[in-house]
């Protein structure tokens, strides 16, 4: 069991004491806030009794074992104590040895959501591609509202072409919500007929997502989408904000958007 020290509270206390001691240096609150980077650097480099004389900036650098570091992250989230940025930075600094342990964390059904969300963010910052297939697996049977799956999709999108083939291959196996999510990554690389046809299909099936799907089709850059976009733009149930996005997509694809009037609200 690792000590879960609340570094945020200690920094707040340090800042209060600093401002009190340097009050005359600040003309107003804005001046104090502008000086926050200097205050933070002093916090990092000042030996602290609550760390037995170590400085906050050096505390986590004592530890380099990947399992210990990631288990410490889990301990923080389990206890509901804010995870120190300094711990996250040390995990990133240790680098590749921590990737495997972070991916293992993502596979643990008993691990809490906060720990997994943090792990996804760390792996993204580390530009890791190790969890690519796991992130895709999460999309196959996902719910529409799923913060962890959304976070994973941000990482898949960031992997660029390196994830494209696996994303496209997964599309037929995903449920409706999963297909919509995976398309966000797939449409960034035009030229795949299956991706184009699926995006058109979703435009017909999801009148509540017209703006999103119009944006997807404009990214694909295929002017064959123009007739479907026009149909959606003229549909009686299409609201004004969606019409604007549809019109923009049509024009980006070289078409002429149909005009229609909306009553002022």
For 59-101, the pLDDT digits (tens) are 999 999 999 999 999 999 999 999 999 999 999 999 999 999 9
- Which of residues 118, 150, 183 is at a domain's end? 183
Is residue 264 over pLDDT 70? no
DSSP state of 126: T
pLDDT at 262: 87
Inter-axis angle of helices 176-186 and 210-220, to 10 degrees?
40
- Whether residues 119 and 22 share a domain: the answer is yes
Whole domain around residue 40: which residue ranges?
1-128
Q: State the greatest distance between any 2 C-alpha atoms of the chain, in Å, as a whole number.
A: 71
- Whether residues 194 and 91 share a domain: the answer is no
- Whether residues 194 and 254 share a domain: the answer is yes
- Which of residues 183, 202, 224 is at a domain's end? 183
6 backbone dihedrals φ, ψ, rounded to 5°? -85, 90
For 159-186, the pLDDT digits (tens) are 999 999 999 999 999 999 999 999 999 9
The answer to whether the beta carbons of residues 106 and 132 sit under 8 Å apart is: no
- Whether residues 140 and 49 share a domain: the answer is no
- Whether residues 17 and 109 share a domain: the answer is yes
Closest CA to 184 of 78, 246, 174, 100: 174
DSSP state of 224: G
- Whether residues 119 and 150 share a domain: the answer is no
Average pLDDT, the chain: 95
109 backbone dihedrals φ, ψ, rounded to 5°? -65, -25
- Whether residues 72 and 151 share a domain: the answer is no
- Whether residues 162 and 228 share a domain: the answer is no
Query: 36: which 2 tokens?
Result: 């926050």
| Euclidean distance between CA atoms 188 and 225, whole angstroms | 16
The residue with greater pLDDT, 106 or 24, is: 106
pLDDT at 2: 83
- Whether residues 47 and 67 share a domain: the answer is yes
| Euclidean distance between CA atoms 210 and 195, whole angstroms | 17
- Which of residues 100, 128, 156 is at a domain's end? 128
* pTM recorded for the entire structure: 0.89
- Min mean pLDDT across 56-60, 139-143, 227-231, 261-265 is at 261-265
Structural domains in the chain (count): 3
Query: 88: which 2 tokens?
Result: 């996250």
- Min mean pLDDT across 19-33, 84-98, 135-149 is at 19-33
Closest CA to 138 of 126, 148, 123: 148
pLDDT at 101: 96
- Whether residues 207 and 228 share a domain: the answer is yes
For 182-218, the pLDDT digits (tens) are 999 999 999 999 999 999 999 999 999 999 999 999 9
| Euclidean distance between CA atoms 174 and 73, whole angstroms | 32
Rg (CA), the chain: 25
- Min mean pLDDT across 16-25, 128-137, 219-228, 230-239 is at 16-25
pLDDT at 120: 98
Question: Average pLDDT, stretch 138-156?
Answer: 97
- Whether residues 195 and 104 share a domain: the answer is no
- Whether residues 202 and 91 share a domain: the answer is no
């Amino acid at each position: 069991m690792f000590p879960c020290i609340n570094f945020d509270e200690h920094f707040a206390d340090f800042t209060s004491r600093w401002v009190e001691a340097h009050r005359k240096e600040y003309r107003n609150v804005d001046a104090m806030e502008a000086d926050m980077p200097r205050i933070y650097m002093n916090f990092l480099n000042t030996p602290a009794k609550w760390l037995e004389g170590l400085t906050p900036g050096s505390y986590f650098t004592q530890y380099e074992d990947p399992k210990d570091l990631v288990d410490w992250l889990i301990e923080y989230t389990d206890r509901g104590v804010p995870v120190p940025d300094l711990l996250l930075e040390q995990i990133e600094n240790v680098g590749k040895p921590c990737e495997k342990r972070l991916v293992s964390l993502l596979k643990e059904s008993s691990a809490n959501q906060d720990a997994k969300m943090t792990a996804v963010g760390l792996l993204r910052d580390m530009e890791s591609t190790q969890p690519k297939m796991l992130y895709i697996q999460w999309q196959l049977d996902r719910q529409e509202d799923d913060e962890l799956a959304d976070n994973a999709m941000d990482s898949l999108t960031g992997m660029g072409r390196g994830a494209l083939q696996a994303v496209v291959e997964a599309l037929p196996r995903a449920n409706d919500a999963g297909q919509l999510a995976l398309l966000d990554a797939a449409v960034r690389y035009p030229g795949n007929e299956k991706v184009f046809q699926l995006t058109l299909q979703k435009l017909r099936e999801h009148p509540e997502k017209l703006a999103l799907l119009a944006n997807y089709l404009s990214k694909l850059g295929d002017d064959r989408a123009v007739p479907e976009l026009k149909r959606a733009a003229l549909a009686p149930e299409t609201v004004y904000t969606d019409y604007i996005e549809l019109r923009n997509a049509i024009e980006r694809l070289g078409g002429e958007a149909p005009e229609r009037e909306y009553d002022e609200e």
